[in-house]
Structure formats: C-alpha cells, structure tokens
Chain A
C-alpha cells in the first residue's frame, strides 16, 4: 500500500481542561491510482485527518497511531523530513484557489517556483514544464495565460492552476480538500473531470475530501463516511451509495435533494 493509516487518533490541547479528541481511531489504505473519497459534515474530523496526513497539524494537536507513506511514518518525521515529503510525495489542492495562490505573482512563475527549488530546473526548463502543466490542466491559450496574474483568471481556471502546482513535482499522493466547493456548479464538473483524468493518467493516489456526496460519487473509487471523528462506514463508492450499511450514511443520502436521490435510483436500473 502506498498510504496506510492505522488507528489514527488526534486530540487538541485546550487552555484549560483535558484535551479533546476529534479523530477517534481511523484506519484506511490507499493504493496507487486509486481515489478515496472522504465525506462528512462540519465537525466530522475529515479536514483534521487530511492535515495529519500532510504533517500539517497545528502545534496544539497530538496524534497517535501510524500514517505510513511508502512505509515511512509521517507522525514520527521531523519538520525537515516533512518538508521534503510535502510537494514531492504529497501534493495539495485547497478549497479557496484565490487565497492559495500568491496574488502578486504570475501563474507561470508560481508553477515554476517549486520546479526550480525542488528539482533544480533552470528558469527556461521550468517555464517549459510550467507550460506543459498548464496545457495538461486544459487552460485555453496556455502560452498566453502563463504570464497572467491570478486575479485575471476565473475561479475555475484558478483552481486548475492549483491542480497544476500540486502536480508539478509529480507527487504519489494528492490530497484535495473541498476542491470545488467554492466554484459554480457548471465549473465544478469540469474541474472534477480534469482532476479525475489526471490522477488516472499519472497513476496518482487521490484523497478527495468533500461534504457533497455528488462530488464523491463522481470520481471516488472508495468512500469513507465520517461523523464526529468516527468512521461510519468504508467501502466501494457504489456499494456505500446504493447499499449503505450505516444509519448515518442513509441520513446523509436522505438529506440530498430529491432530484439527486432520484438520479441514484434511475441509474440503478
């Protein structure tokens, strides 16, 4: 297994009183080229789980268990080791593309930055690679747009830049936390499809975190349903959606608008 999380527990220290545990023993395995959807509402612990996997937990947090990435435990790594892992082995895509990008830097330069720092590419080679990445995420007229600033692009294009940056160093694992939540619906589908195609093409493992079962259904092979820090159920996405075994999953499905639920039943036939 490329990523193997075993009995992960995360608790946060409080100014007074005992620490609060927010993730209560989550285990999961993820192979190369596989997409795992993690679905849950606010307070489910899904974002804390993703932060732990990237070694980005705040200092007040304490994590126990194991997070093995290619056999190495993220939880026991030093900050220096983590820096080598982030970006190179794990790529990240954030919810808000506008705040994740540097507003005063041209997008091409932002993609090239990591390439030059981590892979020691020359300015020219990094630019060529950045252009290739822009084309890969289907930015129209990439050769012109490479010198644009983030504010000159639409939300969907900015998120595609975010994907290009995350893929630049050819990570083995990609973590996307609500990558389409801030986008309009017509753009959401496009971005998800690009993401889906790329991870399949490049054989990258993807963890997709979302509150929206529709997003999960679209691209996740397997799905983990979380509620208040606990695993409710985990399995093939199709299985989880069509034959949920846990009452909470059924409640989540029931909360979907009728039209969306109907679409599940329609395709059942």
Chain B
C-alpha cells in the first residue's frame, strides 16, 4: 500500500512574550492510502496545529510534510494549488465554516477554483447536486443558504465541499465534536461510506476515543505537542503501552460506573 501522507520531524514553535511555545514538537507519522488515521489528544496537544501544517495553511518551524512523496513546502504557489485538489478539510464548527452570504451551490463549488478545467454552468450544477445526494441531502438544496440547515446538515454540506475536487486525503478537524450524538453517528457512517466508495484516506483529528474506535484503522496519541504513541487503533486502545494513553482511556466517559453510584447510595 502506498503512503499518501508522511509527516517527518514536524515542529511548529511560537514565540509569545519572549518564551517559546512548542505547539508541535518533532512529530513523525504516516498514513497509507485508503486508511483512516485518528489523531487523538486533549486541548493543547497540538493536534489542530498538525492539521494546519498538513493542509499547508501554516508553515512549520522545521520538518516536512510529504504528500505522495512530494514535500508540500517545496512546491511553488502554482504547484501547491494543483496539489490542493488532492487534499481537503472539514472543520469543527459548521456554523463558522460556511459563508452565510453564499448559497449552498456556491459554497460546495468553491474548491473548483483550484481546477482551471473544472466544469461550469449546468454541468457544475449537476456535479454539486450529485454530491449533495452523496452526503444525504437533496440536489434541490443548492439554492438554499446555510442558516436554513441544522448543524448536522451543515456538516454534510462542508463534507460535500471537501469532496468536490475528488481529493485522496480528507482532514477532519474535530468534525463531529459540535454535533449531537445521533448526528455524529450519521456523519461517521458517511465518512466510512465515502472511504469504501472512493478509497479516500482520512486524517481524523479528535479528542474522543470512542470515535477513534468507531472508524479509525490507526491511531496517534498526542500530548503537549509530542507524539505519545502510535499504532493500529485496536491494539493501542486494547493494550496501551504509554502511561498517558492509559490515563486518557481511564478518563473516557463510560456507562459502567452507574453501579458505583448505586453502591455508594446503598451503603449510606
């Protein structure tokens, strides 16, 4: 299997009031074609900073991001634009990620700006309509505006936008965290379906271990900008090698403690 994404010794440091903050510190990881890699960590772990570097929305202090073996930061602006067709992003907050002044058709078609040969007019409308149906909305929604949709529907629109250039890598930054549980489940199922149908690779950034377990093949645990542990999701979650991973797993909200409370009440 070919490696679609390789992050090599990636660091991103900021200077704030004279002191250096290592938001990302010497991180190395890889993602094979058609796989889903979960990056899990708490706030301040550097997982969102990592997403920004991978999307070339920010430049690292040192290190490399290789897409199909080509360094992202060595590309000319023109080459970068061409490369962008291959990777797109879904953001956390669907209320902030869609321009309220644009209709759904315009929002979804925006990344076609990357492709000078992209279809126009009726052909473009048809493509947008197909994508809308792909993500579980209706083709007639193209002329509606974001405020007419619920959070889950908005996230579907954002996913449709990320898919229009037929990217091979999708980066989802806490893409289900702002959603209701039942809606989260639908979106996760949608991502799995897209992987199956289009063989798309996904870098799934989240704080939720339950979600990692649902859809990820591999997992990378991060803390304070550093990589703590990586490996197959099943193996890491079942038998964590690192202390921090164990703590994270122990803190995970579960349903098994109902017994504890009842016992305590009974003992009183």
Contacts and interface: CB of A to CB of B under 8 A. Distances in A.
A189 B151 CA distance: 27
A196 B71 CA distance: 52
Nearest to A190: B251
Nearest to A39: B181
B185 A255 contact: yes
Contacts of B253: 185, 188-189, 212, 214-215, 217-218, 260
A213 to B, nearest CB: 7
A41 B151 CA distance: 12
B257 A217 contact: yes
Contacts of B248: 185-186
Contact of B182 (A196, A215, A251): A251
Interface string A214-242: 11011111000000000000000110010
A261 B255 contact: yes
Interface string B172-185: 00000000111111
B116 interface: no
Contacts of A247: none
Interface in B107-138: none
B258 A241 contact: yes
Contacts of B257: 217-218, 267
Interface in A238-269: 238, 241, 251-252, 254-261, 263-264, 266-267
B interface residue count range (under 10 / 10 to 19 / 20 to 34 / 35 or more):
20 to 34
A13 interface: no
A133 B91 CA distance: 40
B251 A259 contact: no
Contacts of B151: 42
Contact of A214 (B184, B185, B254, B259): B254
A215 B151 CA distance: 22
B216 to A, nearest CB: 11
B204 to A, nearest CB: 13
A214 B257 CA distance: 9
Contacts of B258: 217-218, 237-238, 241, 267
A228 B139 CA distance: 28
Nearest to B215: A257
A207 to B, nearest CB: 16
B208 to A, nearest CB: 7
Nearest to B254: A263
A258 B210 CA distance: 7
B233 to A, nearest CB: 11
B228 interface: no
Given A217-B255, A259-B252, A238 B210 contact: no
Given A42-B151, A259-B209, A259-B237, A186 B42 contact: yes
B213 A259 contact: yes
B231 to A, nearest CB: 17
Interface string A183-204: 0111011000000100010000
A41 B152 CA distance: 12
B2 interface: no
15 contacts: A42-B151, A42-B180, A155-B43, A184-B43, A196-B261, A200-B264, A213-B255, A214-B252, A217-B257, A241-B255, A254-B185, A257-B210, A258-B213, A259-B210, A267-B259
Interface of B: 42-43, 151, 180-185, 207-211, 213-214, 237, 247-248, 251-259, 261-262, 264-265, 268
